[in-house]
Amino acid sequence: MMQENTEQIRLREVLCSTPLWGVLSAYGQRCYFPNGIVEQSNQAAQEAGEANATAGVALKQARHMTLSYLQDAVGIDTDKLVAYAPTAGDPMLRQAWKRLLIKHNPSIQDKNFSLPVVTSGLTHALSLAADLFIDVDDTLILYEPCWDNYRLMFEQRYRAAVRGLPLFRNDALNIEGLASELAACDRQKIVVLLNFPHNPTGYTPELEEQHALVQTLVTCAKQGRHIVVLIDDAYFGLFHNASAARESIFAMLCDAHEHIIALKCDAATKESLVWGFRIGFITYGYRGITQEATAAMEQKLKGAVRSSISSCSRIGQTLLLQALGDERYEDDVRLVHQEMALRYELMQSALQSHIHQWDLLRPLPSNSGYFVTLQCTYDTEQLRLHLLKKHAIGTVSLYPCYLRIAYSGLDRQKIDAFVDTVYQGACELWR
């Protein structure tokens, strides 16, 4: 067994008396950010006024020697495009994202939670959370159907024992099923994954459901369980009717109980309309979290980032930070949200017009996000291929019986015909 170094010992001493230590993975307990090249380069950048020979970058008169094309193409100081970003991300971007988080979730204003750490997209945020909190055979409970990357990540990569339960019961959020799964788990530590607006169904709980879900987790924690909640907020903000709760469930969970560790994984991907930037964030909190514990966990997150991708895209962070400060930002985002809401209404109307065929394809409840999902009586992969080959339209089949339609990619004038074709294809196969 390797001997702990001084930084590992320091972090353990800070965290061992907190609720965090008992739910960290074995790697999470070992992980640390070293006083190595990055940290020494950071120190030199602040203090080495005479000359800095630390980082492996090509400099001339303290500026990066890079491609002329970049200055012409982007029109921004190239040092802000090609320099290594800090391991935890651009400090100004982290602050800006936290301000945005509070603005969109006003009930969180006076609660204690961490400064967001920048990740390379939302998938990376989830992966970092798994690095630090999931061991082989840990129980992870999630709602199904779900994004197919969850099982690839948590089941195959991290070897968690994934337990799925139906998202809906009688067309409402299946809170009773979650309570049953929690009660049936024989582990003290339980990981729960929540994703709202939900992919693939496009469902966000109503406010009463959100409260009930949180209370279910609190009840479990009061019974002595230690719960880690991974919150995938990929589609946050895309709420299309009044039924959807408007704040992230993180706002309730971050101080719900000392043994509920809430980790908010979100991204600029959909929130800021920059899908290929691969800039995400991870934010964490629990009731009673201290500044010392927050700082110690940041060091562990930095260690996990450093040991995997080193740091995230500088150009993406620079452009995003400037975009967040642009006076057009809110209007641009609002216009896209309004467009998605209009498409949602058209999609619901088109689906309703086929109610007589819902015995073949029945829409699941939806009020938000980018998608609707149809539950199919037969094999949706057969239908997907039939629609693609015969009608030249693309859909996604999930599991044996779900078909996802991303109306986010459909112009309004195409939605009626698209839905008609989906049901036509189902009838061609099965009637």
- The 10s digit of each residue's pLDDT in 197-215 is 999 999 999 999 999 999 9
For 336-357, write each residue's pLDDT tens digit.
Answer: 999 999 999 999 999 999 999 9
Confidence at residue 36, expressed as pLDDT on a 0 to 100 scale:
78
Looking at residue 261, the DSSP 8-state letter turns out to be: E
Confidence at residue 258, expressed as pLDDT on a 0 to 100 scale:
98
- The answer to whether residue 61 scores a pLDDT higher than 90 is no
Q: Domain spanning 9-33+87-324: which CATH class is it, in words?
A: alpha beta
**Domains of the chain by residue range:** 9-33+87-324, 329-430
Query: Could you write out the DSSP letters of every residue in 57-76?
Result: --EETTEE---HHHHHHH-S
CA distance 326 to 103: 16
For 397-406, write each residue's pLDDT tens digit.
Answer: 998 899 999 9
Asked whether the CA dihedral 332, 337, 338, 340 is positive or negative, the reply is: positive
Which residues have a Cβ under 8 Å from the Cβ of 385 and sit 6 or more positions away?
none
Paired tokens of 41: 């380069």
Burial class (CB in 10 A: 0-12, 13-18, 19+), 46: exposed
For 135-157, write each residue's pLDDT tens digit.
Answer: 999 999 999 999 999 999 999 99
Spell out the alpha helix ranges (H) of 261-414. 268-271, 291-306, 314-324, 329-352, 380-391
CATH 3.40.50.300 fits domain 329-430: no
Paired tokens of 425: 């294809």
End-to-end CA distance of the chain: 65
Res. 62 pLDDT band, cuts 50 70 90:
confident
In contact, 123 and 149? CB cutoff 8 Å:
yes
Confidence at residue 159, expressed as pLDDT on a 0 to 100 scale:
99
Give the type of residue at 333: V
**For the chain, what percent of residues have pLDDT higher than 70?**
100
Mean pLDDT over residues 88-100, rounded? 98
